[in-house]
Chain A
């Protein structure tokens, strides 16, 4: 897992860490029982404060993605398949909404959009 932080996104650093770990879990890059880097180790690697990584891990634990085992570290919990599917579906919706907005703005019809969707679906992308 690689965490890439932006200094200028306006998204708090702990939120960026949280989102990327969450993503890695939902997409299966991190699997159940995988051990996350230690709070201090991650803070050192990312050059962020210890409170920042603590907050990210605490939020992930509250949301049921990881469990903190006292003295051992933070382990990934089994992936919630329904949640992962819901997350993927939301992303598909977001992208489609963006496509529809562009289509409406430029006078492209629903039929044309559907045709494009079918075409792209059949292609190997």
Chain B
């Protein structure tokens, strides 16, 4: 590690990208080296666009992305970034061995024996074609490549979606093993927030192209409380504080910022909120309020 600049594996500052129907609006994300960040938000929030900008595939209209202190997409940066996308960028007709040979030409730190070992461990035959691989196997193949070229940062786009609970558990275990090395950092987007609860150190919540929260997972869980009870107990002022308010059969539910909870009537039920609930309530609120 070479001084203070190396302590951030990733810094996204003011990232803005305009599309006719969508605006990614001044996204800020930083991940200190050696930690796991989960990237959460409903479909269409802009997660994949953000990840593509981080990988240098999408060119931002404004803002900067720096990886290990260098610009996104730079050759020296790409050498250190391992990518697991929803669908691998490999031609469908290639075999796992072809993928390895290609990667060997591109990556300076490529380990062919390491790749063979990873394929073996993941149960992927070197002669299997991409087109024959299941969704879980495609994720594992991309991981095998990333782990064999000495990546210091893993960027994963929805790696667990479409995987069964066993495969998801395996993937989480691999991430834990990966960051056991303090030089290794992970950014992964997911809508299966259960995958984050134990694994993620940090979380970034993205809604409608804007970051609503970015910080320690624990700080997010502590920022809100789920609240429910009799609708008649609420004053209009109380109700205005409730995010994602919905009422059925005279009973309401929603969540409040933790600092507003004390002002609510005492006979309401307040309890800890899950990440899923935070995502749902924020989605229901017309204007997601900033934490």
Report A's interface with B, CB cutoff 8 A.
Answer: 10, 12-14, 40-41, 43-44, 47-52, 55
How far is A115 from B60 in the complex, measured between Cα atoms in Å? 80
- Give chain A's interface secondary structure class: helix
How far is A47 from B177 in the complex, measured between Cα atoms in Å? 9
**B173 interface residue, CB < 8 Å from A?**
yes
How far is A31 from B242 in the complex, measured between Cα atoms in Å? 50
When distances are taken between beta carbons in the complex, the residues of chain A under 8 Å from B218 are 12, 14, 51, 55
**B199 interface residue, CB < 8 Å from A?**
yes
Residue of A nearest to B34 (CB): A50
**B182 interface residue, CB < 8 Å from A?**
yes
Report B's interface with A, CB cutoff 8 A.
Answer: 34-36, 172-173, 176-177, 179-182, 198-202, 216-218, 272
How far is A66 from B211 in the complex, measured between Cα atoms in Å? 38
**Docked-complex contact A49 and B180, CB < 8 angstroms:** no
When distances are taken between beta carbons in the complex, the residues of chain A under 8 Å from B172 are 47
A47-B173, A51-B35 given; 17 more Cβ-contact pairs under 8 Å: A10-B272, A12-B218, A40-B179, A40-B181, A41-B180, A43-B176, A43-B179, A43-B180, A44-B177, A44-B180, A47-B172, A47-B199, A48-B199, A49-B35, A50-B179, A51-B216, A51-B218
Chain A proximity of B128: nearest CB distance (Å): 29
When distances are taken between beta carbons in the complex, the residues of chain B under 8 Å from A14 are 218
How far is A13 from B197 in the complex, measured between Cα atoms in Å? 10
